[in-house]
Amino acid sequence: MTKPLSQIRNFAIIAHIDHGKSTLADRLIQTCGGLEEREMQQQVLDSMEIERERGITIKAQTVRLAYTAKDGVEYQFNLMDTPGHVDFSYEVSRSLASCEGSLLVVDATQGVEAQTLANVYQALDNNHEIIPVINKIDLPAADVDNAKQQIEDVIGLDASEAVSVSGKTGIGIPGLLEAIVKRLPPPHEGDANKPTKALLVDSWYDTYLGVVVLVRVIDGYLKKGQKIKFMSNGRTREIDRVGMFTPKHVLLDELGPGEMGFITAAIKDISETNVGDTITDDKKPCDKALPGFKPSVPMVFCSFYPADAGDFEKLKTSLGKLRLNDASLHYEMETSQALGLGFRCGFLGLLHMEIIQERLEREFDLDLIPTAPSVVYKINMTNGDQIELYNPVDMPDVVKIDNIEEPWIKATILVPDEYLGGLLQLCQDRRGVQIDLTYAGGRAMLVYRLPLNEVVFDFYDRLKSISKGYASFDYELDGYGENDLVKLEIRVNDEPVDALAMIVHRASAEYRGRAMCERLKELIPRQMFKIAIQAAIGGKVIARENVSALRKDVTAKCYGGDITRKKKLLEKQKKGKAKMRQYGNVEIPQSAFIAALKMGDE
Amino acid sequence: MSDAPDLEFLPGEMGVYFHWPFCASKCPYCDFNAHVADNVSHERWRAAYQRAVSHYAEMLPDKRVVSIFFGGGTPSLMEPESVAAAIDAVRAGWPCSNTLEVTLEANPTSVEAAKLAAFREAGVNRVSLGVQALNDADLSFLGRAHDAAQAVHAIKISQEIFERVSFDLIYARPSQTLEGWRDELCRALDLARGHMSLYQLTIERSTPFYLRSKRGEFVMPGEAMGADFYHLTQDVTEEAGMPAYEVSNHAVAGQECRHNMIYWTGADYIGIGPGAHGRFMRDGAVYASRDHHAPEVWLSRVEADGSGAHPFEAVDAAGRFEAGLMTGLRLCGGVDVEALSKTSGKSFNDMVDLKKLDVAVREGWAVFDGVRLRLTREGILRLNALLPYLLV
């Protein structure tokens, strides 16, 4: 039943957000008869609501298509839709590792974007054959030549044989399908007689099936009833289903060398199925796991607190549900004096964090208070120990610290000339180190090394506002580096406000501290007592503000009817006290801290 | 039955409040239940007040009335016959103290001043005049229908007719200076005989002033300025022998308004008229009453079944304690916490955070001898913040 390798083509589609990747995929599916016209709903691949809205793919997906080429042979196409953002770059790399070629989709009206670059480079790292595809040629603003020129100038690929298409109207699709057969290679290796060896491309939780595992078979077969082993953790399971997506679920007897599809094996916990793992036969294992496996490591951290303390249990359950489908989401409970009970969460990156927050708010109807995002610092102690710091609150005593290392990124920014000055300034302000500055097609390509902690703090928003939305930005992690970092503590009446603590570079500590003090001064209502707000590094106060004590707060009139009204006000004030936090002799409403956090990115 | 002390009330002693919901024009700062209507049927209202009184008299037979108060609105627009009828109804419904205080709020326009003798005939023995300011510019800003000369005239006429006369002033007005207020207050003290109410102007939502101040048409004195105004007011009135006995009320000793003392000491009162509130003991439990707000609705309810009230709400022990503390601390004499604990059924120690009370005493805001808790001037100035701070 399985196809010979020569009749299989496994390929990914690489594109920037909005460049029409999903529309093109839909068109390929439809042209090959994977779905009838009436079954097509726009962008069938991006099934999650949030994926569709934001135009990003979070989970890898595959679709198997049957295409009868002009040579009369029916080919098996396995179309891989990869996660589209750098936060999921490891997941992207494993998706790409399961293919031999890529379609590089460039919008004829937009040209190449930074995000495209990173994924192209990953495809090249995986020895992909790449077909440049110029999309949206039906639009009046389409400039095919310019798009080709950019592919050559910015990426360095030969674009002379680029295929021009419109995913929307279907122009050029037949030519593209032929190009896939002729120009993309079949799977390089694959021996049906060798022990089973398959790449775990991705996995997700399905309420009815349990964990569904997306696989690419290298050698041997995956069959129903087979006992398999996950090589990274040694777990064994019996396969209860083998199948493919067309994009409908279709059950198969087996998956053979070079093929892609899914298996289920009564797995309940997605953390068993690690992306990039090698699946083999339990009794007759392959001798070596596939290269490139890495356990997922969260890079960005922040805490979520329910705005309504009564929602804590709901938040806990909701995170659990998201975790079912997202092994890279980490969380543990924490208690904040200022904000109550919540969770410290770890994410692959900023977008991952945003997506999780948005899903919690939208799908689970939670009102969340996120703390300022933070990164993982490595703290080298004077006694030679190294500890990893996930939360500024846990910073050890400075006298015991020898030095602090912070994570750096390599950022690639593409920006129209006119906004270059502003962006250079922004990168400079954020302690960036310029690595490269080149021009292509009226745009500058900036490569900078930047500390990740400067990027998690409103960098992306600033970038977008400076460039009026025209700059595109992408990054990869680029190791750790020692720096003069300090814990900036905010104190109210001499007591630290845990939720507002942050790690900052000493040079920006005073500015950030002053900004936070000024903000709190605006937000904390005046009370009977003077309130001292301070920003401090260690024992040293670097900025201070006072909320002066109120001198007068009394209702002028209180007669018969006013008593009821005043009494209601008093009830409200007393209820509000439950949401107050005690700092010295004053009680500060939680809402002030929430507002301070919300204003964090202004 | 012997007479109780004037300002302390025995169980069963009660005040009766009548609300007259109509005004000749509505003042831009006022958020009271007041309406401008041309064709008020005085006969119907008169009958309704009588009917509502007898309804309460049946419901609360064991009371003794020590005060009647006509508020509004502008009750000086009532026909004196109506006032007489209401007073007579009360006298018919309950035994009354032979020092019964009967107050009527009046505007110092010439028309209303002309009716004062008739109100006296009707049984009123105390008037409270809505003077509000003693200069024409501010009176016009406040939307009042009288000028300063009319106000002075009305005060003098009233003092000839009634033994007890009070008047209201509003201060801490936009663009008012401390010096200007001192001068005006001194002139007021020269005119005053026994009692004055001095209110800081407050911008209430749902008033024309609210919108106008939002739009920036005028700027209200800030909190610090408000405090300065208050201190000046206390200093000047104390020196003149008319100190405050409540946040905004001043009297020479013995001239305090008995009716308002009922509110602040937690004694019983019933409220009759649109939007009027009451609070009274009945069969051992305390109830709060609230009459229908809309004049027409109230009128037709009373005509139909004798009562214009919504269903009474029971007030629990904690609610009684808190209301008692809230109003009692407005009084310069403070509140007897032993008595409050006894009448409310909640112990002081359970309701008040004693550590915080200590702080308040140390800060100079409160004085506490174990029985009577009173706020100092600085404490009274912070009452709204102090109350939730002190309560557990």
pLDDT at A83: 66
Alpha carbons A193 and A251: distance in angstroms, whole number? 23
Mean pLDDT in residue range B220-236 = 97
For B381, the closest of A554, A570, A585 (CB atoms) is: A554
Cis, bond preceding A247 (omega within 30 deg of 0): yes
From chain A, the residues in CB contact with B383 under 8 A are: 553-555
Contact A453, A389 (CB under 8 A): no
With an 8 Å Cβ cutoff, are A566 and B326 in contact?
Answer: yes
The complex's ipTM works out to: 0.92
Predicted local distance difference test score (pLDDT) of residue B2: 38
pLDDT in tens, A287-296: 999 998 887 7
Mean pLDDT for B140-151 is 95
Which of B100, B85, B15, B102 has the alpha carbon at shortest distance from B51?
B85
- A445 and A436 Cβ atoms separated by less than 8 Å: yes
Proportion of chain A above pLDDT 90, given as a percent: 52
The encoded tokens of residue A205 equal 């939780």
pLDDT tens digits, B190-208: 999 999 999 999 999 889 9
Low-confidence winner among A81-95, B10-24, B220-234 (lowest mean pLDDT): A81-95
Q: Are the Cβ atoms of A558 and B247 closer than 8 angstroms?
A: yes
* A425, two tokens: 């300034």
Range A150-171 average pLDDT: 92
- Residue A281 is predicted with a pLDDT of 97
Range B327-351 average pLDDT: 95
| Contact across the interface for A553 and B381, Cβ inside 8 Å | yes
Please, which residues have CB within 8 angstroms of residue A302's CB and are 6 or more apart in sequence? Answer: A344, A345, A347, A353, A370, A371, A372, A373, A374
Q: Compute the distance between CA of residue B340 and CA of residue B344 in angstroms, rounded to an integer.
A: 6
Predicted confidence (pLDDT) per residue in A19-33, tens digit: 778 788 888 988 887
Q: Please answer yes or no on whether B326 and A570 come within 8 Å at the CB atom.
A: yes
CA A175 to CA A552: how far, in whole Å? 80
What average pLDDT does the segment A339-366 reach? Answer: 88
The closest CB to that of B199, out of A526, A557, A564, belongs to A557
Say yes or no to pLDDT of B5 above 50.
no
What share of chain A has pLDDT > 70, as a percent?
93
**pLDDT score recorded for residue A314:** 95
Least-confidence region, from A186-195, A369-378, A468-477, B180-189: A468-477
Q: Is the pLDDT of residue B7 over 80?
A: no
pLDDT at A602 over 50: no
pLDDT of residue A51 exceeding 60: no
pLDDT in tens, A384-414: 999 999 888 889 988 999 999 999 999 989 8
Residues of B in contact with A550 (CB under 8 A): 223, 382, 385
Whether the CB-CB separation of A66 and A150 falls below 8 Å is answered with: no
- Mean pLDDT confidence for A73-102: 85
What is the β-pairing status of strands A8-15 and A101-107?
parallel
Place of tokens 């005004």: B23
> Given an 8 Å threshold on Cβ–Cβ distance, is A550 in contact with B385?
yes
Give the domain ranges of chain B: 13-263, 333-390
Instruction: Please check the confidence at residue B127 and state whether its pLDDT lies above 50.
Output: yes
pLDDT reported for residue A85: 62
Residues whose CB falls within 8 Å of the CB of residue A429, separated by 6 or more in sequence, listed in order: none
Write down the pLDDT at residue A468: 84
Q: Cα separation of A435 and A437, whole Å?
A: 7
Q: Is the pLDDT of residue A601 over 80?
A: no
CA dist B367 and B378 (Å) reads 11
CB atoms < 10 A from the CB of A309, how many?
A: 14
Helices B42-59 and B295-305: crossing angle, nearest 10°?
Answer: 60
Residue A109's contacts (CB-CB under 8 Å, 6 or more residues apart) are: A136, A139, A141, A142, A143
What pLDDT, on a 0 to 100 scale, did the predictor assign at position B206? 86
- pLDDT tens digit string along A456-477? 877 887 888 898 878 888 788 8
pLDDT at B128: 97
pLDDT tens-digit profile of A507-530?
A: 889 988 999 999 999 989 888 899
Interface test with A, best of B31, B232, B279, B327 (most A CBs within 10 A): B327
* Percent above pLDDT 70 for chain B: 98
Does pLDDT of A42 surpass 70?
A: no
Task: Tell me the chain B residues in contact with residue A524 when contact means C-beta distances shorter than 8 Å.
Answer: none
Cα angle A32, A35, A38 (rounded to 5 degrees) comes to: 130
How do strand A210-219 and strand A260-264 relate by DSSP bridges?
antiparallel
Q: Do A560 and B278 touch (CB under 8 A)?
A: yes
Candidate from A552, A558, A577 with C-beta closest to B388: A577
| A553 closest CB neighbour out of B17, B269, B384 | B384
Count CB pairs under 8 A between chains A and B: 96
Cα distance between residue A43 and residue A56, in whole Å: 11
Q: B385: which chain A residues are within 8 Å (Cβ-Cβ)?
A: 527-528, 550, 553
Q: Is the pLDDT of residue B84 over 70?
A: yes
**A560–B263 C-beta distance less than 8 A:** yes
The predicted-structure confidence for A434-453, as pLDDT tens digits, reads as follows 999 998 767 889 999 999 98
Of the listed ranges A121-125, B91-95, B158-162, the least confidently predicted one is A121-125
Q: Does residue A41 surpass a pLDDT of 70? A: no
Q: With 80 as the cut, is the pLDDT of residue B11 above it?
A: yes
Facing B387 at nearest CB: one of A557, A570, A576: A570
Res A57 pLDDT > 80: no
User: Is the model's pLDDT at A306 over the cut of 50?
Assistant: yes
Whether the per-residue pLDDT at B375 is higher than 80: the answer is: yes
Q: Does B386 touch chain A (CB under 8 A)?
A: yes
**Quick check: B384 contacting A, CB < 8 Å?**
yes
Report yes or no: B278 at the A interface, CB cutoff 8 Å. yes
pLDDT at A461: 79
In which band, very low, low, confident or very high, does the pLDDT at B314 lie, cut at 50, 70 and 90? very high
Contact A559 B263 (CB under 8 A): yes
Does B49 lie at the interface with A, CB-CB under 8 angstroms? no
pLDDT score, position A339: 85
More confident residue, A37 or A473: A473
Contact B381 A552 (CB under 8 A): yes
Residue B181 and residue B173: Cα distance in Å, rounded?
9
pLDDT tens for A213-264 read: 999 999 999 999 999 999 999 999 999 999 998 878 899 999 999 999 999 9
Strands A340-347 and A330-336: antiparallel
B276 contacts A561? CB cut-off 8 A: yes
SS3 (DSSP) at B249:
strand
Please report the pLDDT score of residue B69 as a whole number: 98
How crowded is residue A546: how many other Cβ atoms within 10 Å of its Cβ? 12
Does A561 sit within 8 Å of B391, measured CB to CB? no
pLDDT band at residue B113 under the 50/70/90 scheme: confident
Please check the confidence at residue A586 and state whether its pLDDT lies above 60: yes
Q: Are A374 and A456 in contact (CB under 8 A)?
A: yes
- Select from A528, A556, A566 the Cβ nearest to the Cβ of B385: A528
For B13-263, the fitting CATH number among 3.50.50.60, 3.20.20.70, 3.40.50.720, 3.40.30.10 is 3.20.20.70
CA distance B315 to chain A (A): 11
Show which residues on chain A lie within 8 Å of chain B, measured between beta carbons.
Answer: 526-528, 550-561, 563-564, 566-567, 570, 573-574, 576-577, 585
Query: What is the pLDDT at residue B4?
Result: 42
Report DSSP letters for B134-179, one per residue.
SSHHHHHHTT-SS-HHHHHHHHHHHHHH-SEEEEEEEES-TT--HH
Q: Per-residue pLDDT averaged across B43-59, rounded?
A: 98
Tell whether B276 is within 8 A of chain A (Cβ): yes
> Which of B 117-176 lie inside 8 A of A, CB atoms?
none
Percent of chain B with pLDDT over 90: 92
Average pLDDT over residues A488-504: 91
pTM for this prediction: 0.67
pLDDT reported for residue A53: 52
